[in-house]
A and B are shown apart, each in its own frame.
Chain A
């Protein structure tokens, strides 16, 4: 158990809908990272937040947005969902913001029908 929690574990929704994925980092970690892993694919970095501020941005679609709250938990919002958005979404956390080991949560499995 990495200490990173993600909810929900599974999510099934329809195209065009909007969902919110939630992540709580390890105690003491200030950075949260979001990744997307499509079927049989590697991980694609989406975005990083550090202490409430956006720190780095990867291949995140405009339909997706994220934020980190004062209690350091983070939410990833996915809107206008498409079939291709079906994937495993990982959250990771680290203590600082630069080049530190990331600890991954168990992931949220999203299925868009």
Chain B
């Protein structure tokens, strides 16, 4: 299978809702990064994790290398959270391996 599987492919939220995105890895990864691609196509780095959990405002991300997954949690969703979210993992050797993305749509 794919080395990085990202779910769900799409997510629709109302403002104020909480939800989560997940990436599963086919093998042990050394680190993971999460990106948001906004409506202009710009890629914004949200988190870089080598282990554990990080929080930034309403966003929280967890990376469990042993269990081979990472999550991104959105709390109190806002309209500006709309976009496509990508996880990307580093296995070693070459560069990051990207997931296929989750398109998040937040509506009033």
Whether chains A and B associate is no
